[in-house]
Structure 1
Amino acid sequence: MPYDIHDRSLAERGQQRIDWAARHMPVLRQITEEFAAEKPFEGRRIAASLHITTETAVLVGALQAGGAEVALCASNPLSTHDDVCAALVERGIAVYAHHGEDLASYQRHMEQALAIQPQLVMDDGADLIAILHSRPEEYEVLAGIEETTSGVMRARAMAEQQVLRFPVVAVNDTPTKRYFDNRYGTGQNTIDGILRATNVLLAGATFVVAGYGWCGRGIAMRARGMGARVIVSEINATRALEAIMDGFQVLPMHEAAPLGEIFVTATGMAGVIRREHFLLMQDGAILANSGHFDVEVDTAGLRDLATGSAQLRQHMTEYELPNGRKVYLLGQGRLIGQAAAEASPAALMDLSFADQALSTRYLFEAYQRLTPGVYDVPSEIDERVAVLKLRALGVQLDTLTQEQLAYQHAWQVGTAN
């Protein structure tokens, strides 16, 4: 079995950490048992570009238990855990990734993962999907799955331009993913990454969140919970109004820039914090990104503007500006919750990856009746994942009585009846 990882001797440590994650993923464990009994992926080949974490290893284990041949590469150069890669290789998974790989290695590893001629791709950021569409004559992919906001945006753009060649399920958009992983998971791991990278005090700090989608909501909530004064920047009127109603100040970035001490982008858009904003910031401002790609903070513009730089901590680079002030970029402007922390907790990834696993089975069963386009996770999958999670937590739901069921479908009963 071919592979390209940093150090295979790390496998034992990686397996121990995977086992710990699996303890907190009861839904995916149950699905893995189903797959092992039914073998829905027997003879199927899956290429995956994902953050290679302990939780991802549990997902890959579910696919393997279902009979799939899996080739795995990274979706971010800084989110790979080398010990997890080693453990997966020991279990017969072809892994092509190592932490901190350069761009050339990152691209080569994607090509190696695609060498198995996958029938389905599982993506986080749509890099694999984009490669497949740059050379469509080389591959016969039946379907794809996209995990994150930025990747769904790319897939939808391809569909709108009528270049998407196969159906893609947008796992990111399903409620059991975005309401929990995006809000509570990203909210927690973003704060975790900032604290690990800087060890700064959040209490009393002015904390600027760019974007008030589900990720931004979670980040703002967690920052306020640790005592920060939170400002939100938005382009969407409804989301801005929601931030106001949630008790946050809303300002455009050019007004927030002189006030903020810590800045986090969570938009999926490029150039959110730019050269003109850097020059407005106070001395010592900290810049972090929680979006998938390293384009939300204009890192190239920052490097070009700076008169000097220094690596002060493992995940923190100091840039001196022409006005003499210094700003600090975390994690090279990459996804800070992955680059400096350990991503979302396993208990939340249990939901997201259960959605992915069940959507994989759905696509192999349904791809022939789906035209190229971006599709929601079927509602019955989302509902099943929620029910299984509640059951694992020991939570029971009320059920409707026969009278309530009748009322639900009646029109005769009202104020006058």
Structure 2
Amino acid sequence: MDEVLLRSLTPRVLTILVRRGADFAAAEDAVQDALVEALRVWPDNPPRDQQGWMVTVAWRRFLDAARSDAARRRRESLISVEPEAPDPGPAPGSDDTLQLYFLCAHPSLTPASAVALTLRAVGGLTTRQIAQAYLVPEATMAQRISRAKRIVSGARFDQPGDVATVLRVLYLVFNEGYSGDVDLASEAIRLTRQLTTAIDHPEVAGLLALMLLHHARRAARTAPDGSLVPLAQQDRSRWDTRLIAEGVDILQAALARDQLGELQAQAAIAALHADAPTAEETDWPQIVEWYDELVRLTDSPIVQLNRAVAVGEADGARAGLAELALLDTSLPRYTAVAAYLRERDGDLSRAAELYAEAAQKAPNLAERDHLTRQAARLNTYRSR
């Protein structure tokens, strides 16, 4: 059984059912029933038209469920005008999938719910797979997805969707990385590639380029013991040059359209890191220029925090600390940045204190362990 094919059919069939009048929750249940039936039937009797078969079976499942549910008798006038087994005919798969992206990025959903619903409806992952990826019980994830489906049920497909929200959801998926048996970073790249076939926009291309450039460094990000390896210390021979080349090509084509956006600017920074043969050869002045563009585009305090690091690399630690002093000390990772710049400035005692303080605020265990090691390293150096 071709799992990739089934996952690619899921969003197309789901959207066709919604267009025919099924609410999102009922349509999603019907498509899942059709998937189960496909797993049972296809190995011995594969259909010539897989999508048509899935549409027919899912629509019948929806009709059966709708007619047996007294609460949905209001729909019978709509249902009765549809044939029992409609001819699926050609379907604009990319357009259908695009509408499904917009639905899953509904503004009423929390970011976590939007990500879960996108993985289920567009990615075709099971609730169990999504729960394992998020390290939560399957029942918890099922409730989250059910609530999300209830919220988007009845949403109209004739309203324009917010592409920026869709891109944010996909980037959230990518940043979850890998856990359980689902590689969410790879899944996000797959979905973003799919989106680029439906939307010809430089920011969509910018997101794909950004993902590829970050993903290219994945193998070098952790040591054999699982500890984090900072960018400057990574073994660059382990970076995936094929992904880097593809990301740079996509980015250059996007930038050539002269419609600069936040994701393209982020990708440009990632490309400059990827282009440097060694950490010492990184073009920090140009990275600072790109951060200036990002500040102009977003006015984000987090971007300004990252810019302070870049200034510290380009113009010296004192210059970076001066930029940092202009920012709110409650920003996430502010203390870690302060520790790094203090160390670069030679104030090892204060840097060790700040690393230890930052470790207590770390958002995850890997980062906490890394910051704790940094504090211990400086304390050991000072005691010699």
Say whether the fold is shared (TM-score over 0.5). no
| Structure with the larger strand share | 1
Q: Which has the higher contact order (CA 8 A, sep 6+)?
A: 1
Higher-helix-fraction structure = 2
Q: So what's the TM-score if we normalise by structure 1? A: 0.25
Between structure 1 and structure 2, the one with the greater Rg is: 2
Instruction: Give TM-score scaled by structure 2 length.
Output: 0.26
